[in-house]
Every structure is written in structure tokens, then in C-alpha cells.
Amino acid sequence: MRTQVGIVGAGPAGLLLSHLLARQGVSSVILETRSRDEIESTIRAGVLEQGTVDLLTEAGLADRMRREGHVHHGIELRFEGQGHRVDLSGLTGGRAITVYAQHEVIKDLVKARLDAGGRILFEAKDVRLSGLDERTPRISFLHEGRAQTIDCDFIAGCDGFHGVSRASIPAALKVEYERKYDFGWFGILVEAPPSSKELIYASHDRGFALVSTRSETIQRLYFQCDPKDDVANWPDERIWEELDLRLSTEDGWRVKRGRIFQKGIIAMRSFVVEPLQYGRLFLAGDAAHIVPPTGAKGLNLAAADVKVLARAFEEHYTRGRSDLLESYSATVLKRIWRSEHFSWWMTSMLHRFPDGDPIQRRFQLAELRNVAASEAAARLLAENYVGLPMA
């Protein structure tokens, strides 16, 4: 096969990039190691920044999100038995977030690509990249029992943290920055009405907890846990008792209960590779960076990456410009590191650290009180949470 841009990975980054390129008349083929059912059924939360919502809307991908997503104009910080609302819209000139799960975004993107005649090769195996520093790089793979290749002008590596793309960059030509956290999130899906109109971020002596919304009948709840813990150690009643403790308020607030139908543990890390390009390979999304989920930046960073990359490819093919491709890494890394820092800050402010250092807890409470009392501090949180402008 021959295409202009070969895309490895059918996650949000790869699918959105292919869609944006098609609108600009640039051809692409997407390779994905998993099946369509797998990528559309992997349950992951999703808080969409204002800029991501705007990008999806401009690209004609927002119809179902507008119908089924939940627009939130604020969030609640809960600590010391009290809730403190951060007015996101009031502090950012009307900007907001939309709660719309990542797998729903993927469903919309897959449908849009296939409806437009785009090529997505699911269940591609043994994917390998070659000729990355040559004029025509190649993707080799097995599909439907046959060895196949795609020759292309460029390759976009959008295949996640464990994918082949980042591993194809010589170790001597990249630097990987990583921080692993000694805690994770225990997440549940529950059949229940919403417990709150907006997200609740709770900091408690026992650890962090989060109340999120999926729909009018399905809710997503998290609490901090040992990442090496076993789901089997958490029967339903123990989960509810822990959530009640961490989310308790002086007025007796309680989370609304229901049937728990999914449980899972999420490990947490901060990760960035530099640079994000090697020869004719460009990394985007989780292949380039990972953020702890506290700042709600993962999918949004992927969207910001591919917006810049799509524009660079458009300028290359329509105007013969190479400068935007050459500066891609430097351009998106500025936003990536700002988002990494914000996610780390939210994580460090809200979670209980395993070493039990009493001064750490005092620092956290001082920071939380400052955000609750200072308009300037609250605005800093709000501006970063709803999303900084995309480059």
C-alpha cells in the first residue's frame, strides 16, 4: 500500500489526526493491533477541555457529544469536611469542561472515519517501522494472515505508551523523563443517579476520592489505593464505607449507592519523551507523554498534539513548507510540560503520600485553603483545568 501519512494506533490521537488530514485532502491509513470492539469497549473516563470540544465541533464530530455529554461550569474541592466550589466559567471568561467518556469519543471517531471511506486496519500484528530517516519510511505488519507493507511520506506514532513507535527511536537520540507514583486509583462504575451536579475532588487523611458523572443512571467513582492491591480485596460494602469516609462533610452528605458492575485499579505515572520526532516519525498522544489522571489532561493533550501536527502536514503538502514539521516537537512540548506540571500539582495537593510524613499533609491543607480563599489561586487552577489555548 501507499499513502501520505501512515498512522500507527487507533486511539484518540490517531483517529483524530486521520480525520483532520482527510479534511485537508491528505491521505492516511491507520493500523491498530486491537479489534474495533476492544478499542470501543475499553472503559476510560473523559473530561474534555473547552479547546478539545471546540476542535471536535469544528471538525464535525460533536453531535453525539452535544446530546449526551455533561457540560460542567465548576468543580468542587472537598477537604476538612467542607466543599469549596471553583467557578471554572466565572474565572475563565465562560469556558467550561464537558464530561464525555474517552471510549465514546473513540466510537464517534471510528464511525466518522469509516463513513468517510477512511482505512483502519484492525488486528494488525507484528508491526514494525523502518526507514525512518529515509524519504519513504515503511510500516510492515501481518494482517488477515498475510505479510503487508505501507510505504508513506511520514509516520505518526499514536500507539500509546507500550507501542512500537517510541521504541523505534534509537535510545541515544531520545531522553525519557518519568515519575512513578506509589499510589493508584480504584475505580468503579455504578448504576445510580448522580451524587453531584459537578465533579468532586476530595482530599482526606485516608487519601483522595473523586465523584464523576457518566450519565443520568451510570456514575464513575474513584478512590486512592495501593496500585499493587487486588480488586478481590474490595467487596462492595467495603468500597462504599471507604467512599463515605473520604467524601464525608459536616452536613452529613453521602454518595448515592447502586449496583457496582465494574471495578479496576489504575496505576499512575508522569512521563515525557524528548524529542517527539525522529526523521519522518512523529509521536503524539500517549506514545509521547503520560499524565496522572488527576488533572484530566490525557485525551486533551492528544488532541492538542494532532491539531498542531495536522496543520504542519497541511502546510507541507499545500505550500511546500517544512518549518512547522521541523518545529513540531518544540511547539507541543511547551503545552505538554505545562499540563504535566498541572497534573502533578493536582496530584500532590490531593493525595495521601505513603511515607506518612505529617508535614506533607500540612502543606496540602495550606495549599487547598489557599485555592479556596484566593481568587488568583482559584483562577490559576481554573485556567489550567478548562485548558490552555492550543498552539
Catalytic residues: 72, 201, 293, 297, 385
Q: How many CA atoms lie within 13 A of 195 on its CB side?
A: 23
Cis peptide leading into residue 293 (ω within 30°): no
Burial 314-349, CB ≥16 within 10 A → b, else e: bbbbeeeeeebbeebbebbbebbeebbebbbbbbbb
Q: Which phi and psi (to 5°) does residue 86 adopt? A: -100, 115
- 274 burial (CB, 10 Å; 0-12 / 13-18 / 19+) is middle
Provide the residue count of the chain: 391
Q: Are 103 and 42 in contact (CB under 8 A)?
A: yes
Strand, coil or helix: 227: coil
Residues contacting residue 220 through CB under 8 Å, at least 6 positions apart: 45, 187, 188, 189, 212, 213, 214
